[in-house]
Chain A
Amino acid sequence: MNIFKLSIKNIFNKPLSSSISLTLLILGVGIISLLLQLNTLIKDQMDNNLRGIDMVVGAKGSPLQLILSSVYHIDSPTGNISFQEAENISKNRMVGSSIKILYGDNYKGYRIVGAEKKFIDLYKGVIKEGKDWEKPYEVLVGSKVYEKLKINLGDELVSSHGLRETGQSHDEGTFKVVGLLKPSNSVIDQLIITSPQSVWNIHDDNDHYNEDEHEHEDEHEDEHEHEHEHEHEHDDREITAMLIKFKSPMNIIQFPRQINENTNLQAAVPSYEISRLFKLFGFGIETLSYLAYLIIIVSGFSLFINLFNSMRERKYEMALIRTLGASRLQLSTMIIFESLVLTISGFVLGLLFSRFGVMFVSSLMEESLNYNLNSFKILNDEFWLLGLSILIGIVSSLIPAIQVYKINISKILADA
């Protein structure tokens, strides 16, 4: 038996009144930690997928939407732009490198992206099994997609039109899996990637359903080999967006404005749009965390009332312990321990609560956005939260501890 054990026994002796303060603290700490975790995880995830994309060019519309769709693959695209116009921009001297991407179809909710091969290099994608695509209709599959849908090398995927699961399915949209990608912890994990040609083929066939199909098909197969020639002819091919990296960071100020003013395309800067997005929901996060801090303060207050009342109930006990020879300091320590045990376990359980929260939110995001967050590391801000919990524990037990310190044993025992 020792003072620390005694504190714990005392807590368990009054489980009901202890549990109210504890629950409040778990709630307060849990909410704040959940907000911190989500904020960090989402930001990390967003930054991670930015991959030095300085600018995105796409159809006019909301710049945020353009970024969300073509960089993060979570929103619908703003529309299509002409291949020719994109090509002109990519030849500008300010452009370091550019990647054209185009959407069209999905396979069971996972997007099929037509992209140039450097798209995979951008996300450091590595082929785990199989090989790169060579012909149209050959696809590489991201790790989450094949894990979720149990896709194997050589499988045939029948795509449906649009980006949602319930599109019309193409007769011609049968893709052959030629490669599986290693997990890269980036957006390509949840994509099915193919050559731009594949997407053009399918949609040309569809758009010109009543026209001469065979002619077109042949034309496009040729196109692959003579791409350069084609560009000089009439070209009605379209792409969804183009990801651009500048030669110099300075261009980020001038070039997007040029495009927005002088062409009918839209240029958006991801880093700017993302910080705008965070500012928007940062406000909500701030409000919620104030609420959570309030809950923590209330929990400290309830802890104080708790201890204060229990001191009055336990005054004979305190006097007894003193007559057994315990010092004033030992008794006061016991009270502070009782409070600290509660607040520290509140902190620990609160973190646990927030981790379950992260798992829950992650599973929601996975379902609706094919995005997931998984990291259980402790953030620096959470150490502050531990400090706050300890502070609450000490402050709320201070007055009861002083009371116990000043206890008049003789008077209490004489009143009995």
Chain B
Amino acid sequence: MLKTKELEFNYENQMFFKFQNIDLKSNENLLIIGDSGVGKTTLMHLLAGLLKSNSGSIKLFDKELNLMSPSQLDSFRKNNIGIVFQRPHFVNSLTVKENLQLAQYIANKKDNNRIEDILKNLNIFNKSNKKTNQLSQGEKQRASIALAIVNSPKLILADEPTSSLDDNNCAKVIELLKKQATDFGAQLIVITHDSRLKKHFKNTIEL
């Protein structure tokens, strides 16, 4: 399902990354682990189609990302990929529910039942009509997971989802992510420096 080959990326300020090849089968989750500065975020942005590699290839669901135009990437992303950011981001002027509705609108979908299901599943249904800045840290993290999965992506990319959490919450969040992925039929790729996560994944790549 995901296959990268000879992936290279260099920033204008001469930072250069060369990534090892990845080959992930369908129905498998993946942990990509590495220290700061090895290009974790860069790799994630490459996988999400937010950056374009200088050379090499990324095949995601049998599509070559490097051959797509920016607008094709936009539409590929909204149909296939959900992203959980290290720090939760929302549209601050909207409520939790409206954020999810916006995500659906962008993907040309409209399904309030799904929004309800997801929020219930994540146990934040009672916060539906709260502005996102009124949520606690934990609630924000759940809401950002909701935002990542609302359009039924086939792939969930999570960037450092646990770095600021204690052991207890770290385990909770990662299990939550895995459960959501299973519940809604998506694969999960987590990119982190947090070695506590190793025990939660069968497939691990060290950068």
A contacts, CB < 8 Å to B:
1-3, 6, 9-10, 12-14, 314, 316-317, 319-328, 330, 409-410, 413-414, 416
Contact = CB atoms under 8 A, between A and B. Distances in A.
B91 interface: yes
B85 A416 contact: yes
Contacts of B91: 6, 317, 320-321
B205 to A, nearest CB: 20
A327 B102 contact: no
Contacts of B90: 317, 320
28 contacts: A1-B105, A2-B105, A3-B105, A6-B91, A6-B93, A9-B93, A12-B93, A13-B93, A317-B91, A317-B92, A321-B102, A323-B50, A323-B77, A324-B78, A324-B103, A324-B107, A325-B74, A325-B75, A325-B78, A325-B79, A325-B106, A326-B74, A327-B71, A328-B70, A330-B106, A410-B50, A413-B41, A414-B41
Interface in B45-61: 45, 48, 50-51
A1 B104 contact: yes
Interface in B76-106: 77-79, 83, 85-87, 89-94, 98, 101-106
A414 B91 CA distance: 18
B85 A410 contact: no
A172 B77 CA distance: 96
A320 B70 CA distance: 16
A56 to B, nearest CB: 65
A93 to B, nearest CB: 80
Contacts of A330: 106
B98 A325 contact: no
Given A6-B91, A325-B79, A409-B50, A416 B86 contact: yes
Contacts of A320: 85, 89-91
B34 to A, nearest CB: 15
A324 B106 contact: yes
A9 B95 CA distance: 10
B131 to A, nearest CB: 9
A410 B44 CA distance: 10
B48 A323 contact: yes
Nearest to A14: B93
B74 A322 contact: yes
Contacts of B92: 13, 314, 317
Nearest to A13: B93
Given A13-B93, A330-B106, A414 B45 contact: yes
Interface string B100-133: 0111111100000000000000000000000000
Given A2-B105, A325-B74, A410-B45, A9 B94 contact: yes
Given A14-B93, A325-B79, 9 more contacts: A1-B94, A10-B93, A12-B93, A324-B102, A324-B147, A325-B106, A326-B78, A410-B45, A413-B50
A322 B70 CA distance: 11
A120 B175 CA distance: 94
Contacts of A12: 93
Contacts of B94: 1, 6, 9
Nearest to A322: B74
